[in-house]
Structure 1
């Protein structure tokens, strides 16, 4: 993708994400229709659908040859990431949106021929935009984020992960994970994959482990994390296919090998 086109898409994406965020804030206290999808904890609201429809309309009007992958089904059914593909989560952290009215984000990743070109994660209620263009660094609003430190040691790290890792599951032995969380400095659970990745890029957490994430959960955050020298892979350290669901491990690369080793020791 040439620089002029990249800059134009970036400018439009930033404008649209801010408009969508303003709309959500203006309606945050209005009554919501809340439905469930795959299970009782997989929520979707009228605002999720309204926000995704807004992006799809803008993108298709402005870039009719671009493709869209969206959580709520307003996009295209794709078999590849060839061409220019927008990967959108209109509200990442819908449960937080419903219960807390905070700690959720709009996530937009723009990929061209399978390469992440633009990532935007908008913390709507705090009016904080994490954003990046490939090869040009990552930013929190207008402040450029520093490259991740290279002297991080695992026992002094903070990981974002939820309690499912510490309960009996079919993936990693829970005893292994319980030992892991006692070894590191601490854990946090924010409930939004997009924000979790942005926090790694900011350097306020060091790692993120999550089970079964969809492409729209991580597409934007991957671009942002990569721009500060972080890594986002599956839990074996393998690249992610953004047309499939994955167990995701994102981190400062200084600790990647050690954590992957721990996870492999506990694999069932």
Structure 2
């Protein structure tokens, strides 16, 4: 029998320890490497932070599985069992250039169902977290259920990759959306943007392409405050694949989906 409350306290302690390590790293130079392309960056801090979490998980929960961005976890073909989906630093480019607008992101799933989600804004010391069925919180303050907002008064975030032609849909539809809403933002960290949707700082978030570790925790948070998280097609997210992601309060989610994203 899984003691989710005990696990929740353990994860928070690890996150605080990792956050302190990352903040301390601001005083030192970084070792920066590229991954899939020159702008897909990873630092020694990403790798050391992921190793920290993996080492602790292996010791404390040896039967659990790990899916991590930096490739130090398990080779998985499903989310059977208990799976930790970890991004040690979501927003690495922001971390390197700005030392802000990045986060630790951890989603814990049981047989494909999100149980615990954590997004820690290291620089601002803001921990967003959720336990399935118990709501979502930011630094121990419970987040209210998402309220409805009209499209014209909404503030949305859209990943800048929409500027480039892509295989998902005609980007002209996003131009139309951007000129209808009150404002558009792009923070460069999917985890933080999903946390902002959950907390009401943003009303919706759309992106063309994310990996599971980018959205696993945020999905749990948004759903715990009554929001919807789907692909841009409106279909359920595939937690094992790279996918588009679209999050928002139910009414706004439905209107954007119907009026701007789906083929007429």
> Does TM-score exceed 0.5, indicating one fold?
yes
Q: Bigger shift: 85-94 or 163-172? A: 163-172
Cα distance in 2 for partners of 1:43, 1:135 equals 36
Q: 2:134 aligns with which of 118, 133, 136?
A: 136
Q: Does 1:237 align with 2:230?
A: no
> Does structure 1 residue 57 correspond to structure 2 residue 61?
no
Aligned residues: CA RMSD: 1.2
Counterpart in the other structure of 1:180? 177
Deviation at 1:52, TM superposition (A): 0.1
Q: Secondary structure in 2 aligned to 1:16?
A: helix
Give TM-score, length-normalised by structure 2: 0.97
**Counterpart contact for 2:90–2:105, Cα < 8 Å:** yes
Q: Counterpart of 1:214?
A: 211
Give how far 1:167 is off.
4.1
* Aligned equivalents of 1:124, 1:163: Cα separation in 2: 23
Give the distance between the partners of 1:11 and 1:164, measured in 2 at CA. 37
- Take 1:265 and 1:29, find their aligned partners in 2: how far apart are those partners? 50
Mapping of residues 71-90 of structure 1, within 5 Å:
71-90=69-88
TM-score where L is the length of structure 1: 0.95
Separation of aligned partners in 2, 1:226 and 1:183: 25
Higher mean C-alpha deviation, range 255-264 or range 229-238: 255-264
Q: Is the 8 A contact 1:208 1:251 kept in 2?
A: yes
Structure 2 CA distance, aligned partners of 1:163 and 1:113?
33
- Distance (whole Å) between structure 1 residues aligned to residue 167 and residue 136 of structure 2: 36
Task: Verify the 8 A CA contact 1:166 1:177 in the aligned structure 2.
Answer: no
Q: Does 71-80 or 170-179 show the bigger shift?
A: 170-179
**2:179 is paired with a residue of what secondary structure?**
helix
Q: How many correspondences in the alignment?
A: 263
Runs of 4+ in structure 1 over 6 Å off: none
Gapped regions of structure 1 (runs ≥ 5): none
Which residue among 12, 22, 25 is the counterpart of 1:24? 22
Contact 1:161 1:189 in 2 (8 A): yes
User: 2:246, 2:147 → 1: CA distance?
Assistant: 18
Superposed displacement of residue 168, structure 1: 3.3
Structure 2 unaligned blocks of 5 or more: none
Give the whole-Å Cα distance in 2 for the aligned partners of 1:93 and 1:214.
13
Which of residues 176, 189, 194 in structure 1 aligns to 2:191?
Answer: 194
Within-5 A mapping of 1:97-116: 97-116=95-114
2:152 is aligned with 1:148: no
